[in-house]
Amino acid sequence: MATEGHAAVAVAGAARRRVLFFPLPFQGHISPMFHLAGVLHARGFAVTVFYPDFFNAPDPSRHPAFDFVPVPDGRVGRGDGDGAGGDYLQATMASILALNRRCEAPFWQRLAALLESSGGDVACLVADAHLLTLMDVARRLGVPALALRTGSAASFRIFAAQPMLRDEGYLPARESELDAPVTVLPPAPYRVRDVTMTAGVGGHAQEQIYEIMSRAVAAVKTSSGLILNTFHALESAELAALRRDFDVPVFDVGPLHKLSPAGPAASLLRQDRGCLEWLDAQSPASVLYVSFGSIASMNAAELVETAWGIANSGHPFLWVLRPDLVRGGAAQQAAAVGLPDGFDTATRGRGAVVSWAPQDEVLAHRAVGGFWTHCGWNSTLESVCAGVPMLLRPCFGDQPGNARYAEHVWRVGLTLDTDGGGELERGKVESAIRRLMEGEDGAGMRRRAGELKSGAAECIAMAGSSCLSIDKLVNHILSL
């Protein structure tokens, strides 16, 4: 939540200006965009949120201070679907590309109508960097566009380095070279597998992701500024590299979930807040929190191994078990999300299972001593800011790179060993949990996580780097 004294200070002149927002409609992208909207609204700007009304639409009633403009489906004819028939990664990539196409014409119409009725008070559009087409629409209508990257500064360096990585022969990745070091992105400790962004999937998905990364880089290069949900104490070298390599202003305004004023979370899933009461009854730093985000998945066999690894570790746990966590069709998912026979008996009295949780509050709870995560950037950032060490099991996209930083740069995480095959095994799960939650390794990671937590607090304090960066962002918007 906002630290007192700075996030709620309105800036002279801002109250007569309106900032438009267009988030990418996935949970990990919606949350930081709404947090940023809250920060700028607290500084005196009016806020209008555009959103596709046909896909993961937010609930405007939960955000009465904002105005909302639905963008209808502009699809014409067939052959422009979201790719839902492929696997979950390809479906996600296809959805991003299709959303740009489907929203272009109706967004033009909605934005033009708003501009005609607004009396000239629109300052700019802040769009997710994956919405290049919509940023182009805004510019053609005379509205400056800023790009919000909801990942780390380090991950965006991977995006920008893709042509070089191809020229140098690192990509497309070869199975025999996945663990080879990448020496052209100093000082990052990357291996080839960490920069592919595809987690070993096939050629079509690789080309899709390459296109999406290229478009995101183009969105930033043609923008009026790059906004990043990160902070100086965490990524100073990476931010310096972006400022050197990109001829646009760069604003590190994170962690946004700590700077945003109090208000309802922009969650697409219903949160089970009863888990907070369960945590109240647990001992300090005793609970392993397990959550794999809103998109990452596993197969049915891995669910069983995960369950027994957690059970056999002997530690209290809070596990977020989404209904769609298990890959496969609806019938297979329905059969697989049930936990294995005997699990409830083995863990009675020391575990809680929910379908979704208020994660930032969970991680900030005194009872949580470790976080088993898929290494999405929001989860990684929330864990760092709460001072909670991590058990790392990345899946795709920027997650492998985030995991490498957590383990080898910040040294607050432990990668779950799967012997290179990617499959979970209960004995290794149990061993990793014990190592995280017990003994010298876990204590060292917890101590370093506490140092990063302090660094984040300094950045969001009055005159801290993130606070000053928000001031610069506000002044930049007013100058556009």
pLDDT in tens, 257-270: 999 986 656 677 78
Q: Find out whether 377 and 229 touch, Cβ atoms under 8 Å.
A: yes
Give the pair of three-digit tokens for residue 243.
């400022």
Query: Residue 12's pLDDT band (boundaries 50, 70, 90)?
Result: low
Q: Note the pLDDT tens digit of each residue in 437-459.
A: 998 999 999 999 999 999 999 99
Q: Note the pLDDT tens digit of each residue in 27-42.
A: 999 999 999 999 999 9
Give the pair of three-digit tokens for residue 311.
């059970």
Q: Note the pLDDT tens digit of each residue in 134-187.
A: 999 999 999 999 999 999 999 999 999 999 999 999 988 888 999 999 999 988
Q: Bridge-partner residues for 252, per DSSP? A: 228
- What amino acid positions are annotated as catalytic residues? 29, 128
Does the pTM surpass 0.85? The reply is yes
pLDDT at position 236 over 70: yes
Q: Which residues of 119-150 are buried (b: 16+ CB within 10 A; e: fewer)?
A: eeebbbbbbbbbbbbbbbbbeeeebbbbbbbb
Residue 436 is predicted with a pLDDT of 97
Amino acid at site 232: H
Helix/strand/coil percentages in the chain, nearest 5: 50, 15, 40
Residue 172 is predicted with a pLDDT of 87
Fold adopted by 14-266+460-479:
Rossmann fold (3.40.50)
Fold adopted by 274-456:
Rossmann fold (3.40.50)
pLDDT at position 4 over 70: no
All CATH 3.40.50.2000 domain ranges of the chain, comma separated, are 14-266+460-479, 274-456
* Total number of residues shown for the chain: 480
